């Protein structure tokens, strides 16, 4: 694989032609292309790429809080979705597939790190815990795998949320559906954040959708994969590891109209956020302990 880091932007390309771009600002994946050159992530053409605000599109990282922080929680002073997406991470290095026991050049694993000592002073004061994050992005043919490792390096426990706020590129949201959510309880932010149960085996989109699903586990307590379909054809398979929740979000016409950094304005038609995470309850990490979870997106088209 060819890996290049220039001006805080890392690009990696496999001999198959699959490629990924990661900004150190937010350790933010802004592009994932498969070997046929198809872009699999939606990125706003008005996204700020200069570190002035979180990047709109791609894979924003959410840590240590999802959404607006609750008033009575240790994260209460942090911005919406926390600080991971607006902090500069460091590139820790690459591992090519040989070391993962696969044929050389089949995949590349890119590791990024963020620790409490790297945060801006102001942010540290707002959430004064000692932590270390290692985010691993593994690119293989037709697949993007995102894993997060969280370590408590301090002397007291802390609570966190993690979520991968992925903007998948779709051709037409009105012809897009999500399978694998039937019977799942979900909190609907469009309906006073009340809880409902999904009845459809194929969730379609007709208006703004903003829900946090906690799908029932499958055999052996496994997390069931979700399948995104476009025009009836499978387009993405989303698998999860230690991430019980999935936010499904599309802002539709009006919400997107009000977002200054979302362009083009009809871009609402061409993205769907499928956001695996652990957000419906806090994950508590004792001093010295570590946690790991992640998700993988496989392109089927
Ligand atoms: C989603 C939330 O995950 O993120 C939405 O459920 C929110 O409510 C969206 O609008 C975008 O958030 P932000 O902070 O990136 O504008």
- CATH code for the domain in which residue 232 is found: 2.70.98.10
pLDDT band at 233 (very low <50, low <70, confident <90, very high): very high
Closest C-alpha to ligand 1, atom 10: 251
Q: What is the pLDDT of residue 96?
A: 74
Helix, coil or strand: residue 16: coil
Q: Which atom of ligand 1 is nearest to the CA of 54?
A: 15
Judge residue 61's burial from the number of C-beta atoms within 10 Å of its C-beta, 0-12 exposed, 13-18 middle, 19 or more buried: buried
Query: In the chain, pLDDT over 90 holds for what percent of residues?
Result: 95
Q: Is the CB of 81 under 6 A from ligand 1?
A: yes
Q: Can you give the pLDDT at residue 228?
A: 98
User: Token pair of 245, please?
Assistant: 């929740």
221 CA from centroid of ligand 1 (Å): 29
Q: How many domains does the chain have?
A: 1
Which atom of ligand 1 lies closest to the CA of 81? 14
Region of residue 84 (left: phi > 0; alpha: psi -120 to 50; beta: else)? alpha
DSSP assignment of 19-32 equals EEEEETBTTEEEEE
Q: How far is the CA of 266 from the centre of ligand 1 (A)?
A: 17
- Tell me the residue range of the domain where 58 lies: 2-299
What pLDDT was estimated at residue 131?
98
Alpha carbon of residue 244 to chain centroid? 14
Average pLDDT over residues 135-161: 98
Classify residue 99 as exposed, middle or buried by CB count within 10 Å of its CB (0-12, 13-18, 19+). exposed
50: helix, strand or coil: coil
Structure tokens at 241: 């590891």
Nearest atom in ligand 1 to 60's CA:
15
Q: How far is CA 181 from CA 20, 101, 171, 218, 278, in A?
A: 29, 34, 21, 12, 16
Task: Identify the burial level of 289 via C-beta atoms within 10 angstroms of its C-beta, where 0-12 means exposed, 13-18 middle and 19 or more buried.
Answer: exposed
Nearest residue CA, atom 8 of ligand 1? 210
The answer, yes or no, to whether any atom of ligand 1 lies below 6 A from the CB of 80, is yes
Q: Please write the tens of the pLDDT for every residue from 96-122.
A: 766 666 666 689 999 999 999 999 999
Give the catalytic positions in this structure. 165, 275
């Amino acid at each position: 694989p060819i890996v290049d880091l220039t001006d805080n932007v890392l690009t990696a390309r496999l001999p198959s032609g699959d490629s990924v771009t990661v900004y150190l600002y937010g350790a933010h994946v802004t592009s994932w292309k498969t070997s046929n050159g198809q872009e699999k992530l939606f990125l706003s053409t008005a996204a700020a790429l200069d570190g002035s605000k979180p990047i709109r599109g791609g894979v924003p990282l959410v840590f240590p809080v999802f959404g607006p922080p609750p008033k009575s929680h240790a994260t209460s002073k942090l911005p919406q979705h926390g600080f991971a997406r607006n902090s500069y991470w460091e590139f820790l290095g690459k591992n090519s597939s040989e070391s993962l026991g696969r044929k050389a050049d089949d995949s590349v694993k890119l590791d990024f790190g963020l620790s409490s000592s790297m945060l801006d002073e102001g942010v540290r004061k707002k959430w004064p815990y000692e932590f270390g994050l290692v985010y691993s992005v593994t690119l293989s043919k037709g697949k993007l795998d995102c894993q997060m490792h969280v370590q408590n390096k301090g002397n007291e426990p802390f609570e966190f949320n993690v979520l991968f706020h992925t903007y998948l590129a779709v051709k037409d949201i009105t012809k897009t559906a999500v399978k694998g959510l039937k019977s799942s309880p979900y909190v609907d932010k469009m309906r006073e954040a009340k809880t409902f149960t999904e009845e459809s085996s194929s969730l379609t989109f007709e208006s703004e959708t903003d829900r946090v699903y906690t799908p029932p586990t499958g055999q052996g307590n496994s997390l069931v994969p979700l399948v995104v379909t476009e025009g009836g054809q499978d387009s993405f398979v989303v698998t999860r590891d230690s991430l019980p929740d999935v936010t499904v979000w599309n802002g539709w016409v009006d919400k997107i109209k009000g977002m200054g950094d979302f362009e083009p304005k009809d871009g609402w038609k061409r993205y769907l956020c499928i956001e695996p995470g652990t957000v419906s309850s806090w994950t508590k990490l004792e001093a010295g302990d570590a946690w790991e979870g992640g998700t993988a997106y496989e392109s089927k088209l």
